[in-house]
């Protein structure tokens, strides 16, 4: 996104409160044209289209061109490239990485294929909205690298890229601040450990992203504050979440809205097992789903996590507003459940217009040590209590949620290639994308 656009957008929208969860502007602090004074083309630094390993050319272009020229762009032209040497691009300011080609992983070494670290005023994008990394994870399932990792960087964006079949996670945002992620398609396999986007840090805006996998869709981890996630399409995905939460958790001021989940594990999961610290001041608004296993799932006894040290993470002031959707079997897996920590009960859990039902026309909700308003939540002073299971009827406000034309009926197999998709232009039924695709500019 261009500098003028993001800052004008923030000024206009923040005034109306719709960007209230952010603490300031996000994205690069200078325009893209100002970063194109010098073009650091990998073909001039030892690379070639069809290369067996474009990694060294990317590293050389960065060290010998980007680091010596402020206002430069590292450029991978259209074409196909293999990559077997992972690269860490550390320390540049006022630069861009324009990846218009397709890079395919050919080495099973772990780590991260591309790390951008300590960057400031940075943009990672594809001008043709077709630049991609093909991880071919089926050849190195849960043993190879993650695809992209952004580490302790400030004032940056990543957009118009396609990430496919990572052996591990696809995009990891580690600490840092003031970043924007948008207009991306992520295609992973139907298996755990295939996370779409994992983020922790301060003041991040993630929007207009499609994720297919069987683990995290877009998930906030600790420590984090001022995170806005919206217009997300979890298309046969594990679903979005906050967690896993462990010792000294510190997450606050988080807003998810306009999240559509087609199939998958859950509409949304807050997960922990033991631990300490807090998760507070969260709004989860405008969620719709079709055919998920779980619906609204708060599980502080989550079996997928080893018990962490501490008496439990304190969950407080979390609002669930305007939810509509169905789970596959509402008795086996409740549409709504709050399984809170007995030592630190959940407080101020607020449900407003949460209308979740079951494809079997029979469902229960479960609450334990959970306080607030709505569903089976208890009012009054917080204290521990055993899980209460309540049979429910179809909510009066329930409607069959709309769909998107690209909805998948199943996920992708773990033992065969996953094709590279195109980036869609709609990520939530009835809403346009916030920023046009780069190829349309």
Query: Mind listing the pLDDT tens digit for each residue in 76-122?
Result: 999 999 999 999 999 999 999 999 999 999 999 999 999 999 999 99
**Mean pLDDT value across residues 24-31:** 97
Least confident of 2-11, 193-202, 227-236: 2-11
Query: Mind listing the pLDDT tens digit for each residue in 277-303?
Result: 999 999 999 999 999 999 999 999 999
- Can you tell me the distance from the alpha carbon of 142 to that of 148, in angstroms, rounded to the nearest whole number? 15
253 is catalytic: no
The DSSP annotation for 324-364 comes to EEEES-BTTS-SEEEE--SSS-EEEEEEEEEEEEETTS-EE
Q: Which of 215, 253, 297, 299 is catalytic?
A: 215
Q: What residues pair up with 75 in beta bridges, in sequence order?
A: 41, 98
Residue 3 has pLDDT above 80, yes or no: no
Q: What is the CA radius of gyration of the chain?
A: 22
pTM of structure:
0.95
Q: List CB contacts of 293: < 8 A, sequence separation 6 or more.
A: 264, 265, 266, 327, 328, 333
Q: Which residue has the higher pLDDT, 18 or 66?
A: 66
Residue 373 has pLDDT above 80, yes or no: yes
Query: Mind listing the pLDDT tens digit for each residue in 377-391?
Result: 999 999 999 999 999
**Mean pLDDT value across residues 233-259:** 97
**Mean pLDDT value across residues 182-187:** 98
Is omega for the bond preceding 121 within 30 degrees of 0, making it cis? Answer: no
Contact (CB, 8 A) for 426 and 432: yes
Task: State how far the alpha carbon of 369 is from the alpha carbons of 117, 298, 300, 402, in Å.
Answer: 42, 11, 10, 34
**Mean pLDDT value across residues 32-37:** 97
What does the pLDDT read at residue 21? 83
Give the pLDDT band of residue 20 (cuts 50, 70, 90): low
Q: What is the mean pLDDT of the chain?
A: 94
Residue 1 has pLDDT above 80, yes or no: no
What does the pLDDT read at residue 6? 43
Contact (CB, 8 A) for 78 and 99: no
Give the pLDDT band of residue 361 (cuts 50, 70, 90): very high
- Can you tell me the distance from the alpha carbon of 66 to that of 74, in angstroms, rounded to the nearest whole number? 7
What does the pLDDT read at residue 71? 98
Give the pLDDT band of residue 7 (cuts 50, 70, 90): very low
User: What percentage of the chain exceeds 70 in pLDDT?
Assistant: 95
What does the pLDDT read at residue 142? 84
Least confident of 17-31, 40-54, 57-71, 162-176: 17-31
Query: Mind listing the pLDDT tens digit for each residue in 52-63?
Result: 999 999 999 999
Residue 12 has pLDDT above 80, yes or no: no
């Amino acid at each position: 996104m261009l500098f003028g656009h993001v800052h004008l957008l923030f000024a206009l929208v923040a005034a109306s409160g719709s960007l209230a969860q952010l603490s300031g502007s996000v994205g690069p602090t200078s325009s893209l044209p100002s970063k194109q004074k010098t073009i650091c083309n990998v073909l001039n630094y030892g690379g070639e289209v069809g290369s067996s390993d474009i990694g060294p050319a990317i590293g050389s272009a960065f060290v010998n061109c980007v680091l010596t020229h402020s206002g430069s762009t590292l450029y991978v032209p259209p074409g196909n490239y293999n990559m077997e040497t992972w690269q860490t691009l550390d320390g540049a300011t006022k630069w861009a990485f324009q990846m218009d080609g397709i890079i395919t992983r050919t080495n099973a070494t772990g780590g991260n294929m591309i790390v951008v670290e300590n960057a400031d005023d940075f943009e990672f994008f594809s001008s043709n909205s077709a630049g991609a990394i093909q991880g071919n994870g089926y050849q190195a399932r849960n043993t190879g690298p993650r695809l992209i990792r952004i580490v302790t960087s400030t004032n940056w964006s990543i957009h118009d890229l396609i990430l496919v079949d990572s052996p591990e996670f696809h995009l990891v945002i580690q600490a840092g601040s003031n970043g924007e992620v948008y207009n991306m398609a992520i295609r992973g396999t139907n298996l755990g450990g295939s996370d779409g986007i994992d983020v922790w840090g301060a003041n991040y805006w993630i929007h207009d992203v499609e994720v297919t996998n069987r683990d995290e869709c877009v998930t906030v981890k600790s420590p984090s504050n001022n995170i806005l996630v919206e217009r997300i399409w979890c298309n046969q995905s594990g679903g979005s979440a906050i967690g896993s939460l462990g010792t000294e958790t510190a997450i606050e001021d988080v807003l998810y809205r306009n999240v559509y989940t087609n199939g998958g594990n859950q509409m949304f999961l807050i997960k922990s097992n033991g631990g300490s610290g807090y998760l507070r001041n969260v709004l989860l608004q405008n969620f719709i789903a079709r055919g998920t296993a779980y619906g609204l799932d708060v599980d502080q006894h989550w079996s997928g996590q080893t018990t962490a040290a501490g008496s439990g993470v304190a969950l407080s002031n979390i609002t669930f507003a305007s939810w509509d959707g169905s789970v596959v079997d509402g008795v086996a897996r409740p549409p709504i459940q709050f399984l809170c920590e007995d030592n630190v009960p959940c407080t101020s859990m607020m449900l407003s217009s949460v209308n979740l039902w079951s494809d079997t026309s029979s469902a229960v909700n479960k609450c334990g040590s959970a306080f607030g308003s709505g569903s089976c939540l208890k009012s009054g002073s917080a204290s521990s209590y055993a899980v209460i299971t309540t049979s429910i009827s179809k909510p009066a406000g329930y409607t069959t949620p709309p769909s998107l034309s690209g909805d998948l009926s199943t996920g992708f197999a773990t033992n065969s290639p996953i094709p590279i998709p195109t980036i869609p232009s709609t990520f939530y039924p009835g809403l346009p994308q916030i920023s046009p695709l780069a190829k349309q500019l």
